[in-house]
Amino acid sequence: MILHSTNGKSPKASFAEGIANGLAPDGGLYMPDTLPRLPQAFFKNIAEMSLKEIAYVISNTLFGEILSSSSIKKIVDESLNFSIPLRQIRDNIYVLELFNGPTLSFKDVGARFMAHLLPVIVSQGSGHREIILASSGDSGGAVANAFQRASSTTVNVLFPRGELTTQQISQFATLRNVRAIEVDGSFDECQALVKEALLNDAISRGGKLTSGNSINLARELPSMVYFFHAYAQAINIHGTDAKVVISIPCGNLGSFCAALMAKKMGLPVKRFIAANNANDVFVEFLKTGGFTPQKALITLARAMDVGNPSNIARIIDLYGGNLSLLRHDVEGYSYSDEEIASTMKETWNAHSYHIDPQGATALRAVNRHVNADEIGIALASAHPAKNAAIVNKVTGAAPIMPRELETEFNRQMKIIKIPATPSALHRIINN
């Protein structure tokens, strides 16, 4: 797999170079030159295939040139060891429950895959590895957990002050090989600091530092797997002629970009819906073709509070800048806090089902924009208990608390506080 930068000014890179650096030297995101198409035979059998079987095929197609099938099998078996079931809400409307991994959000998929893939592909020698990422809520926990047994690896999690729940912070700030860095700024400022550090030679020290966000393809590409798995489950129930529509809660657009890459590889989904909260730069982009980063507003669906989504560059690249082609595959809708809350409440009242605020944003779009002859799937991207206070307040009922969250509460947290400046971050990482 050959990679290019979305900014087009860096030399091409191998997959190993791309994931070791995280970000291209010109500041662009790495993107595969081409995405291979999966064979027709795969789609003939997909309805009967398990999550892992689907992941083997996709990973072999993507990484078969650089990894043996036995090491691919090992990576898949160790990283995707939880279920991602499709749950019916009513009639033709479903939710894909992406929250059964160890830290209870969809980010476990990419983070765990990356943690198993990285040591196989990028040799660490005898040195130390540093991972750096910005977290809007769930990626800090997912990446820290995924790397917790990786020897001599430090995970630096930058998170915006006041935006995460105590439980979310405790998922990473209690782990030994983590620096939990609270930034006096927004998620977008955290992300800008991460990019600055990755591009700064003094800090990144020749590939010793890489990104743990979806800007790293080692985390981004594996996210394709759950779209195939969702489709497989839908046609297993409704037959191969089912017109499947998938709605995705969008923040940094990592998950959404993975959906479009899956389509490029042949996934026969009819269309994708991008669901934004009030931070609607992507929905505006679909409308107008103009991309104007905004200062992020704080909403009920916190994990989607992103005003300058990185992966938009990949989406534009994937479609060769052709907005009408993109609009052919994609619709977008944005919802206010009142609308998100109303879907959470409605879903609880009518179906006794708690959905997290992010998932509710996607579900609202499915409820409104999927036709009766289509199958609508909303991604439930986090367990409702990860936003327990909001869920409780909106629905009047407390979500069931999974065991994973209870234990983390009791451990000691270590937090480093910094202003949103590169020099403050450099002092910590060089420490």
Ligand X SMILES: *Cc1c(COP(=O)(O)O)cnc(C)c1O
Q: Give contact residues for ligand X (rule: CB under 6 A).
A: 105, 107, 136-139, 214, 249-256, 303-304, 358, 381-382
Please say which residue, 137 or 307, places its beta carbon nearer to ligand X.
137
Please say which residue, 153 or 252, places its beta carbon nearer to ligand X.
252
- Unique residue bearing structure tokens 């030679």: 201
Question: Distance between CA 178 and CA 176 in Å, rounded?
Answer: 6
* Distance in Å, CB of 226 to ligand X, minimum: 12
Please say which residue, 115 or 274, places its beta carbon nearer to ligand X.
274
- Unique residue bearing structure tokens 């619709």: 331
Please say which residue, 18 or 137, places its beta carbon nearer to ligand X.
137
* DSSP assignment string, 97-163: E---STTSBTHHHHHHHHHHHHHHHS--TTS-EEEEEE-SSSHHHHHHHHTTTSTTEEEEEEEETTT
* Amino acid letter, residue 208: K
- Contact predicate 88/81, CB 8 Å: no
Please say which residue, 158 or 429, places its beta carbon nearer to ligand X.
158
* Distance in Å, CB of 298 to ligand X, minimum: 15
**317-335 burial: b if 16+ Cβ within 10 Å, else e:** bbbeeeeeebeeebbbbbb
- Unique residue bearing structure tokens 């160890």: 102
Q: What residues contact residue 27 under an 8 Å CB cut-off, 6+ apart?
A: 7, 195, 199
Please say which residue, 28 or 249, places its beta carbon nearer to ligand X.
249
Please say which residue, 143 or 245, places its beta carbon nearer to ligand X.
143
* Distance in Å, CB of 171 to ligand X, minimum: 11
* Distance in Å, CB of 98 to ligand X, minimum: 8
* Distance in Å, CB of 301 to ligand X, minimum: 7
* Distance in Å, CB of 379 to ligand X, minimum: 8
Closest CA to 82 of 54, 51, 110: 51
- Contact predicate 205/217, CB 8 Å: no
* Distance in Å, CB of 251 to ligand X, minimum: 3
